[in-house]
Amino acid sequence: MNEKPLFTIGIASYNYANYIKRLLSSIKEQTFKDYEILISDDFSTDNSLQVINEFIEENPDICVRLIVAEKNEGLVANKNKLIENCKGKYLMLCDADDWMSKDCLAEMAQKIEIENPDRVISQVAHIDQNNNILQIEYIPSNQTKWGWNLHHGSVYKTDILKENNIFIKQMPDDVYLTVDFAQHSSKLSIIHKTLYYWLVHTDSEGRKKINFNETYVQATFCEVLKHVTKIIDDLDSSNIKEQRDIQELKLVRLKLYYFYILFVFQNETYKDKIKYYNQLHSCMNDLDKNYMQTQCLSKNSEIVLREYPMKAIRLCTLLEKIHLMKLGLFGYHLITRFKYFDQ
């Protein structure tokens, strides 16, 4: 293997003993072999390390590097270790409960050889715990580099990460990493095939573990909106190319805003939904009083988002304009009491 492989497959491990073997097996089965596996274990208390070490022992021909934390440091620190210690020319960050198709890296490598991109993305299948496909994230042919929801299964050029000191600042990790990387990159390549499988815990365990309160909402979700706004403000509105970037980022900010309101707080009481909506709405108004006038909401806009999210954004924007968002949230609250909604 080359001293500097084409890919580093970075795996953030923490108490995923029941899942990580599947991911490791899917990497082993790759038809393209110029890669290393880098695992950062965040002081797992289950038998994750046993599973990992057994894989290493059984596969001496595969380059596997293992970093073990002396104490639990959290997901952000765990993933940043993967960025810091990456040796490959491109980095893919994997959750330990995901997996990839056997031709994933081969497809990525072919794109890299032909186009020399800064980042490569592919379609991602959302899978439940019974391996049923919940949805596939299809990618518009003119998808731009700012798409934060296309983090899973994508590869990032390592030189850009390290030369610009790009690390994950805080949760949500996918948003910070993708928008910060996009700010310093230019060329995005798209593979219109489903190469990566992202496990969605449909029992919403992840959401239930978070005890939402106004302090958490301010420190997490409002900070993300502020971070995206800062990048918007740093762009040159007189530059034609950056004008499009500004419009794209405004759409990203709007999508994040409504995503938090509709989906992140989905399991909260109606009273709490309204409380957090008021908090986020106030934050958005402070950042940009004209956020509902985003040009890319026009049907004639060149910026394309998948049909369902765009319809949801337009509907929410309309409800806000006519001051009926709280009534809309009440109806949505009633519906979600009876049916599980997924983005």
Position 300 scores a pLDDT of: 45
- Between CA 259 and CA 255 the distance in angstroms is 6
For every residue of 33-81, DSSP letters joined together read --EEEEEEE---SSSHHHHHHHHHHH-TTS-EEEEE-SS---HHHHHHH
Which whole number is the average pLDDT over 211-215?
90
Mean predicted confidence (pLDDT) in 53-73: 98
| Mean pLDDT, range 200-209, rounded to an integer | 54
Question: What number is the average pLDDT over the span 225-239?
Answer: 93
Question: Please, which pLDDT band fits residue 93 given cuts at 50, 70 and 90?
Answer: very high
Please tell me the predicted confidence (pLDDT) of residue 105.
Answer: 98
d(CA 324, CA 216): 26
Q: What percent of the chain has pLDDT over 90?
A: 71
Backbone torsions φ then ψ of 271, nearest 5 degrees: -60, -45
Quote the mean pLDDT of the chain.
Answer: 89
Task: Give the pLDDT mean for 94-120.
Answer: 97
CATH 3.90.550.10 domain locations along the chain: 7-199
Which pLDDT does position 298 carry in this prediction? 52
Per-residue pLDDT band at 303 (split at 50, 70, 90): very low
Per-residue confidence band for 18, with pLDDT thresholds at 50, 70 and 90:
very high
Closest residue by Cα to residue 179 from 248, 228, 234: 228
Buried b (16+ CB within 10 A) or exposed e, 201-222: eeeeeeeeeeebeeeebeebbb
Q: What is the pLDDT of residues 283-299, one digit of tens each?
A: 999 999 999 887 555 55
Question: Strand 99-100 and strand 188-199: pairing?
Answer: antiparallel
pLDDT for the residue numbered 332? 82
Cβ(302)–Cβ(245) under 8 Å?
no
Q: Which of 140-144, 173-177, 232-236 has the lowest mean pLDDT?
A: 140-144
Q: Is the pLDDT of residue 148 over 90?
A: no
Q: pLDDT band at residue 301, thresholds of 50, 70 and 90?
A: very low
Which strand (E) or helix (H) includes residue 274?
helix 270-287
Q: How confident is the model at residue 179 (pLDDT cuts 50, 70, 90)?
A: very high
Q: Of the ranges 118-127, 203-212, 236-245, 314-323, which one carries the lowest mean pLDDT score? A: 203-212
Q: What is the DSSP string of 279-329?
A: HHHHHHHHH-TTGGG-GGGSTT-S----HHHHHHHHHHHHHHHTT-HHHHH
Query: If you classify domain 7-199 with CATH, what class do you get?
Result: alpha beta
Look at residue 206 in the predicted model and tell me its pLDDT: 43
Please calculate the CA angle 55-57-58 and round it to the nearest 5 degrees: 65
What mean pLDDT do residues 142-164 have? 90
pLDDT (average), residues 42-62: 98
The pLDDT value given to residue 120: 97
R_g (Cα) of the chain, nearest Å: 20
- The answer to whether the beta carbons of residues 215 and 276 sit under 8 Å apart is no
Question: Whole-angstrom distance between the N-terminal and C-terminal Cα of the chain?
Answer: 41
Would you give the DSSP letter of residue 214? H
Note the pLDDT tens digit of each residue in 309-341: 677 888 889 999 999 999 999 888 887 765 444
pLDDT of residue 342: 42
- Whether the CB-CB separation of 116 and 90 falls below 8 Å is answered with no
The span from the CA of 179 to the CA of 196, in Å, is 21
Cα angle: 160, vertex 166, 169; to 5 degrees: 160
List, in sequence order, the alpha helices (H) in 86-139: 104-115
Q: Residue 160: name the closest of 141, 181, 139, 179 by CA.
A: 181
Query: Tokens for 141?
Result: 């042919």
Instruction: Give the pair of three-digit tokens for residue 146.
Output: 């700012």
For residue 140, what pLDDT is reported?
A: 83
